[in-house]
Amino acid sequence: MRDASCAAWRQGAIALGLLLAGQTACTQDPEPSPPPAPPLDLPAALAQAAQTGKPVLVQFAADWIESSAATDRMLREDETCRTAMEPFLHARVEVPAGSAGRAVIDAHRVTAVPCWILLAPDGQEVARASPLRFGERPERALIVFLGSEAVRAAVVPSTPAEAWAHLRRTLARDGPSPDAIRRLHPLVERLEGPAREEAQGALQDLRENLETRLAEARAAQAAGNGGALGEALTALERFALTDLREAHEEEIAALRGSSALETHIAGQIARLADPDWETRIAAREALRAVLPLVRDRVAALRDSPDAETAFACADLLRVEAPPVPRVRLRIREVVAGSQGEAAGVRPGDIILAHGDRAIRLYTEIATAVNTTDPSERIMLRIERDGRPLDIELHGGRIGVNPLEEVEE
């Protein structure tokens, strides 16, 4: 993935911001970013995706579940998440309670709300995020999803063959545009002094080189010269996957041996185990920007006894992350007057399944119950005193608070 143009120069811009800016603290805080644009409805997002070639990030939301409201707050307030969403068109699908909500989740095969699904510009599903675990922060879940291999591959071609196909599809539409480069400008504008001037110059050179190659390709296409078009596409491919990569590697190599850089890297590695999740995420992204210099040290920490450090290093090295422990949903309390109380659910019960489908996440059972009409019943299998028990409850608000327990 680091060979791809957008990813490579995203790294380059981050490296410039973190390292070439003198490794000194800015005396002024950056101006707050403007509020995010409201999400599109799904049909409008798909229509815009067909025109722009951007993938669509679909948010399934519901006002009847707290974690969905927390996700909405995160999208308004968390600048890291908003920045991570910039390459995508953001669509929102509301899941109402009752049978109308059931129709929505059945149509999209959603098992729990909130939920994120990534669609390609042609509307085909690319990836979907795992449902939130009880108590999991929506910010962390979204960042992990957007950083996954499948999502990154949807934004930037990861192999020469994919890049070739991407360029041909784009030429067939309107001719390619330098959007990947243009998206870096908000980041560059936040740099200070010489670092900002150098970054602006680098992006300007990239734009001019790209536009020259695009003009050659369009001219060959207009003239119907298949051979010249093939040569132009080959030049574009080489530019995207070789020239940018080499430029980034040269930039990183020039920093090797810098005492300030070594201090910076050591600090970021230490922050991988910081109690604050935002600090850990920032440290991981800072190390990703200079990964060619720290790969060996990151590899040595992959089996760290600190779970967060081990997870971050596994992610940086593109290897399978440590397995997530399986959990059991033990009921901590039952809300008076709720459907759970009416059905006889008690504190201490363990939720096993809804119908014939095993339940491992609270959002799964909450979604199932809240999208069922109160006039209808659903079957819930629980474990009580070590024995399985089937109970029926009406649709509505389930009204139970689970306590996740890690299975031994």
Give the CA distances from residue 138 to residues 129, 285, 325, 330, in Å, rounded to whole numbers and listed in that order: 11, 18, 19, 22
> pLDDT higher for 216 or 337?
337
Contact at 8 Å (CB) between 280 and 271? yes
> pLDDT higher for 163 or 257?
257
How many percent of the chain have pLDDT more than 70? 59
Q: CB atoms < 10 A from the CB of 328, how many?
A: 16
CATH superfamily of 327-406: PDZ domain (2.30.42.10)
Contact at 8 Å (CB) between 255 and 293? yes
Question: What band does 274 get if pLDDT is binned at 50, 70 and 90?
Answer: confident
What pLDDT score does 359 carry?
A: 76
SS3 per residue for 238-306: HHHHHHHHHHHHHHHHHHCCCHHHHHHHHHHHHHCCCCCHHHHHHHHHHHHHCHHHHHHHHHHCCCCCC
What pLDDT score does 69 carry?
A: 80
Residue-wise pLDDT for 123-140, tens only, equals 888 888 877 766 667 777
Minimum mean pLDDT among 194-203, 312-321, 392-401: which range?
Answer: 194-203
The average pLDDT across 211-227 equals: 65
d(C-alpha 326, C-alpha 306), whole Å: 19
Is the bond preceding 114 in cis, omega lying within 30 degrees of 0? yes
Question: What band does 275 get if pLDDT is binned at 50, 70 and 90?
Answer: confident
Structure tokens at 241: 């996957």
Q: What is the SS3 assignment for 394?
A: strand
d(C-alpha 286, C-alpha 82), whole Å: 18
What pTM was computed for the model? 0.47
Minimum mean pLDDT among 93-102, 186-195, 249-258: which range?
Answer: 186-195
The average pLDDT across 212-224 equals: 67
What pLDDT score does 405 carry?
A: 63
Closest CA to 169 of 7, 45, 53: 53
The average pLDDT across 375-388 equals: 86
Domain boundaries along the sequence of the chain: 1-30+156-255, 266-316, 327-406
Closest CA to 36 of 71, 65, 12, 62: 71
